[in-house]
Amino acid sequence: MEYDDVKSTIVELFRKAETELGEDVIKAIKKAYEIEENEIAKNQLKTILDNIDAAKKLKVPICQDTGLPIVFVELGRELCLDFDLKKAIIEGVKLATKEIPLRPNAVDPLTRENPGNNVGLHVPQINIDFVEGDKLKLTVMPKGAGSENTSALKMMLPSQVNEIPKFVVEVVKNAFGKPCPPIFVGVGIGSTFDGSAKLAKKALLRDVTVMDEYELRMLEAINDLGIGPMGLGGKTTALAVLVEKGYCHTASLPVAVNIQCWANRRASKVLG
């Protein structure tokens, strides 16, 4: 495996994530379309499905907000790399921005200056994890701002375990139509302040069609809100609630809710 393999894989993965959604995501949206009875809600879901088809056929980004580039790396501990992995990823993002193309979204947080290539201080966001084996797994997740902006984190009290679902539903209620519902709700429970947010984001990488009883109960409560597709009313406000847990300090209970629009874009490839 060489520097250029990683760089070109990053471009390939962003192209795939931006233009084609995963089968699990499409399945969830189609199911919502079947469930909805309200004319406007059905109309919104039909437009979403037509748009998914158009993007795939025309090989153009599903949404003009091509997101902030996030990359998850799973590094096999037996793997030896004799090149700068981070640099290969960064250069891959620059090339993807030019070639696909991606909208230049990354800016300085204070001056709002835009370098035009989706690269800057801590961007792309690169998360590295060590795993068994001798392979390198790359996952890209371009994250749109409309949904990210409605996310929330709360340092709950250890005595408030039973109130977690209430907090999750409240975050979705406050988000209303802003995050482009029907949404996916990533929930990180435990860990630390920052760790819970990371868990919530990682939860969004999971197969969205598989949920346990706890997650399904929250999903049902969210859909009882009636926000509906695009906040125009309906039965499907969320398509999935995905929870990831991490051990936390006995005195704390961090809970993070990361909201993701219907276009839950991600793509992975294993190298090596």
Partner 1 sequence: MKEISSPLNKDDVLKLKAGDIVYVTGEILTARDKAHIRILEFLQEGKELPFELNCRIIYHCGPLMKKEGEWVAVSAGPTTSARMNASTKKILEKIDCIGIIGKGGMDEEVVRALNGKGIYLAYTGGAGALAAKAIKRVRGVHWEDLGMAEAVWVLEVEKFGPCIVGIDAHGNSLYSEISKRVEENFKNIISKI
Size of the site for partner 1 (CB under 8 A): 52
Burial annotation 58-80 (CB, 10 A radius, 16+ → b, else e): eeebbbebbbbbbbbbbbbeeee
Options 86, 135, 137, 178; binder of partner 1; rule CB under 8 A: 178
- Asked if 170 touches partner 1 (CB under 8 A), the answer is yes
Q: Are 175 and 241 in contact (CB under 8 A)?
A: no
Tokens of 140: 């890209």
Q: What is the DSSP string of 209-233?
A: T---HHHHHHHHHHHTT---GGGS-
Options 76, 146, 195, 272; binder of partner 1; rule CB under 8 A: 146
In sequence order, what are the residues at sequence separation of 6 or more whose Cβ sits closer than 8 angstroms to the Cβ of residue 231? 176, 177, 178, 181
- Asked if 264 touches partner 1 (CB under 8 A), the answer is no
Closest CA to 228 of 239, 214, 217: 239
Distance separating alpha carbons of residues 139 and 158, to the nearest angstrom: 34
Taking CB under 8 A as the rule, which mask of x and - marks residues 83-122 in contact with partner 1? ------------------xxxxx--------x-x------
Instruction: Say what angle helices 3-19 and 85-99 make with each other, to 10 degrees.
Output: 40
Options 230, 242, 256, 257; binder of partner 1; rule CB under 8 A: 230
Options 62, 75, 123, 240; binder of partner 1; rule CB under 8 A: 62
CB-nearer residue toward partner 1: 176 or 193: 176
CB-nearer residue toward partner 1: 97 or 191: 97
CB-nearer residue toward partner 1: 17 or 230: 230
- Asked if 241 touches partner 1 (CB under 8 A), the answer is no
CB-nearer residue toward partner 1: 6 or 230: 230
Indicate the length of the chain as a whole number: 272
Closest CA to 68 of 130, 4, 128, 148: 148
What residues line the site for partner 1 (CB under 8 A)?
40, 43-44, 47-48, 50-51, 54-55, 58, 60-66, 101-105, 114, 116, 144, 146, 149, 165-166, 169-170, 173, 176-178, 180, 217-218, 221, 224-233, 261-263
